[in-house]
Chains A and B, each alone.
Chain A
Amino acid sequence: MTARHRLRSLFTLVQLNGIIPIRSQPLYLVNLLASPLSFLFFITIVSRGAYLAYGITGGMILTMLSVGTGLQSDLTHYRHDLKFQDIVVASPVEAPVYVAGMALSELVYSLPALAVFVLMFIAEGLATVSSAVVLAGTLVLVWAFASALAFTLATYFQDVRETFLFSPLISLVLTVLPPVYYPLSALPGWAQVIAHFSPTTYAAGLVQGSVGLAPFSVSAALLDWGVLAAFTAGLFVLAALKARWKEP
Chain B
Amino acid sequence: MVAAIRAEHLRKVYPQSTAGVAALEDLTLEVPTGRVYGLIGRNGAGKTTFVRICGTQLKSTSGRVSILGLEVDREDREIRSRIACIPQESRPLYFLNVEEVVLLYLTMRGMDRVEARRRTRDALAELSLTEYAKRSVQRLSGGLRRRTLCAMVLASDADLLFLDEPTTGLDPIARREVWEAIRRTSREQRTIVLTTHYLDEAEALSTRLALVERGRLVLEGTPADLRGRVRYPYRVTIQGSFPREELEGYGKVSEIEGGLLVFTREAEAREIARKALELGVRLSLGPVSLEDIFLDIVGRSIEEDTPREEAAG
Contact = CB atoms under 8 A, between A and B. Distances in A.
A78 B91 CA distance: 9
B159 interface: no
B141 interface: no
Interface stretch (A54-62, A88-96, A164-172): A88-96
Interface size class of B (residues with CB under 8 A): 35 or more
A230 interface: no
A192 interface: no
A86 to B, nearest CB: 4
B89 interface: yes
Interface string A69-110: 000000000100111101111111110000000000000000
Given A89-B80, A92-B81, A9 B109 contact: yes
Interface string B74-87: 00110011011111
Interface stretch (B27-35, B50-58, B120-128): B50-58
Of A4, A11, A84, A86, chain B has the most CB atoms within 10 Å of the CB of: A86
Contacts of A17: 93
Contact of A1 (B85, B86, B110): B110
B58 A246 contact: yes
A191 B59 CA distance: 45
Contacts of A2: 110
A248 B100 CA distance: 32
Given A8-B113, A25-B95, A82-B90, 9 more contacts: A1-B110, A4-B110, A12-B104, A87-B87, A90-B56, A91-B85, A93-B108, A93-B110, A247-B59
Interface of A: 1-2, 4-6, 8-9, 11-13, 15-17, 20-21, 24-25, 78, 81-84, 86-94, 246-248
Given A89-B56, A91-B84, A248-B15, A12 B107 contact: yes
A93 B80 CA distance: 8
B162 interface: yes
Contacts of A246: 56-59, 76
A21 B95 contact: yes
Nearest to A15: B104
Contacts of B89: 83
Contacts of B57: 86, 89-90, 246-247
B157 to A, nearest CB: 10
B109 A92 contact: yes
Nearest to B161: A90
B136 A24 contact: yes
Contacts of B88: 83
A234 B200 CA distance: 54
A89 B110 CA distance: 14
Contacts of B15: 248
Nearest to A9: B108
Contacts of B58: 246-247
B149 to A, nearest CB: 8
6 closest cross-chain pairs (CB), A and B: A5-B110, A83-B90, A90-B85, A92-B81, A90-B55, A83-B87
A22 to B, nearest CB: 9
Contacts of A81: 91
Contacts of B59: 246-248
A92 B110 contact: yes
Contacts of B100: 16, 20
Contacts of A9: 107-110
Nearest to A86: B87
B133 to A, nearest CB: 15
Given A5-B110, A84-B93, A246-B57, A90 B104 contact: no
A8 B80 CA distance: 17
B283 interface: no
8 contacts: A1-B110, A12-B107, A78-B93, A81-B91, A83-B89, A92-B109, A246-B58, A248-B59
A24 B97 CA distance: 10
B311 interface: no
Interface core residue of A24, A84, A87, A246 (most chain B CB under 10 Å): A87
Interface string B94-113: 01100010001101111101
A91 B108 contact: yes
Contact of B109 (A15, A91, A247): A91
